[in-house]
Amino acid sequence: MSRNNRQKRETRKEVAANQNVVYIVNDNVGEYKSPAKEPIDTLTQSQDFHFQALMHDDLVIAIGSAGTGKTYLASAVAAELFMKKQYKKIIMSRPNVEVGRSLGYLPGDQDEKYAPYLEPFKKGLIDRLGSNKFKCDFKSRIIAKPLQYMRGETFDDSILLIDEAQNLSIVEMKMILTRIGTNSKLFITGDVNQTDLSCKESGLAWLVRQIRLRHLKYEVIEYSKSDCVRSGLCKEMLYLIEDEV
């Protein structure tokens, strides 16, 4: 590579970092994204309520429609608190329940098998931490933990991210709730109306019911279809699904 081309590429990388945008570099590093410099910006009133709860409460449950940014916001706040060194680890988990037909056996080791289930967390984490920080800490301080390997664990100084909680059984939910150690937070997201379980009540529905019936102090943020920020088409489909004839 000529000196001029190398200088041009370095200049483009610096500009990308200053503008906090994704810049694709055609080398072995792959995709590069700089850490976020701006504060987290909420897009709806529900997101604002959710954000405040995530920042200040130890247990936060967000339920509601798809496309509302529940998982992204929980991941972004976890990354922000992690960067401020208020917590030493981020633990990610979600039930490995497939929608509809099973894909069957997945090749690879445990990390490779579980990788597809982690994608919803990664955007919020990488947007705040930057791609290099995420790659550096992944598997050491940012840890994917399948539910099957959680029993007996104690998570101190950690933020637990639990997504798709509507696919947790009550037994699994109770197990997760009792993993929390000192100086830790638990962020749970899901949609009680989209469970793929055949049981009468999911672990998420059970937890929300317990909190509301007992008037416990824990926050349950409920998103509606009007909070959808994924796209206009997604919002229209949410209304179509609910009002189907």
- The better pLDDT of the pair 208, 35 is held by 208
pLDDT of 118 reads 87
121 and 228 part of one domain:
yes
Q: How would you label 61-97 residue by residue, b for 16+ Cβ within 10 Å and e otherwise?
A: bbbbbbbbbbbbbbbbbbbbbbeeeebebbbbbbbee
CB-CB contact of 145 with 73 (8 Å): no
Model confidence at 15: pLDDT above 70: no
Classify each residue of 141-170 as buried b or exposed e, where b means 16 or more C-beta atoms within 10 Å of its C-beta.
Answer: ebebbbbeebeeeebeebbbbbbbbbbbbb
- Mean pLDDT across the stretch 140-148? 93
| Higher pLDDT among residues 133 and 18, named by residue | 133
Q: Per residue in 45-77, pLDDT tens?
A: 999 999 999 999 999 999 999 999 999 999 999
Say what the pTM is: 0.83
Q: Are residues 29 and 138 in the same domain?
A: no
pLDDT confidence band for 207 (50 / 70 / 90):
very high
What percent of the chain is modeled with pLDDT above 90?
A: 70
| Region of residue 104 (phi > 0: left; psi between -120 and 50: alpha; otherwise: beta) | left
208 versus 97: the higher-pLDDT residue is: 208
Residue 161 and residue 74 share a domain: yes
Same domain, 21 and 127: no
Confirm if 206 and 177 have CB atoms less than 8 A apart: no
Does residue 24 surpass a pLDDT of 80? Answer: no
Residues 51 and 22 in one domain: no
Q: Tell me the CATH number at 137.
A: 3.40.50.300
Residue 13 predicted with pLDDT over 70: no
Start-to-end CA distance of the chain, whole Å, equals 62
| Cα distance between residue 223 and residue 71, in whole Å | 12
pLDDT of residue 176: 97
Residue 16 confidence class, pLDDT cut points 50, 70, 90:
very low
- Counted domains in the chain: 2
One domain, residues 108 and 59:
yes
For the segment 32-51, the average pLDDT, to the nearest whole number, is 92
Residues 86 and 162 in one domain: yes
Same domain, 53 and 28: no
Determine the structural domain holding residue 19 and report its residue range: 1-34
Distances (CA, A) of 200 to 37, 91, 192: 45, 29, 12
Confidence of residue 169 (pLDDT cuts 50, 70, 90): very high
**What is the reported pLDDT for 184?**
98
Indicate the pLDDT class of residue 220, thresholds 50, 70 and 90.
very high
CA distance 98 to 106: 12
Between residues 56 and 14, the one the model is more confident about = 56
Q: In the 3-class helix/strand/coil scheme, how is the chain assigned residue by residue? A: CCHHHHHHHHHHHHHHHHHCCEEECCCCCCEEECCCCCCCCCCCHHHHHHHHHHHHCCEEEEECCCCCCHHHHHHHHHHHHHHCCCCCEEEEECCCCCCCCCCCCCCCCHHHHHHHHHHHHHHHHHHHHCHHHHHHHECCCEEECCHHHCCCCCECCEEEEECCHHHCCHHHHHHHHCCECCCCEEEEEECHHHCCCCCCCCHHHHHHHHHHHCCCCCEEEECCHHHCCCCHHHHHHHHHHHCCC
Same domain, 120 and 24: no
**235 and 147 assigned to the same domain:** yes
How confident is the model at residue 200, as a pLDDT? Answer: 87
Q: How confident is the model at residue 11 (pLDDT cuts 50, 70, 90)?
A: very low
Higher model confidence: residue 96 or residue 48?
48
Statement to judge: residues 73 and 56 lie in one domain: yes
Mean pLDDT, range 126-149, rounded to an integer = 94
Residues 120 and 146 in one domain: yes
In this predicted structure, what is the pLDDT of residue 70?
97
Residue 128: how many CB atoms within 10 A of its CB?
A: 22
The reported pLDDT for the residue numbered 22 is 35
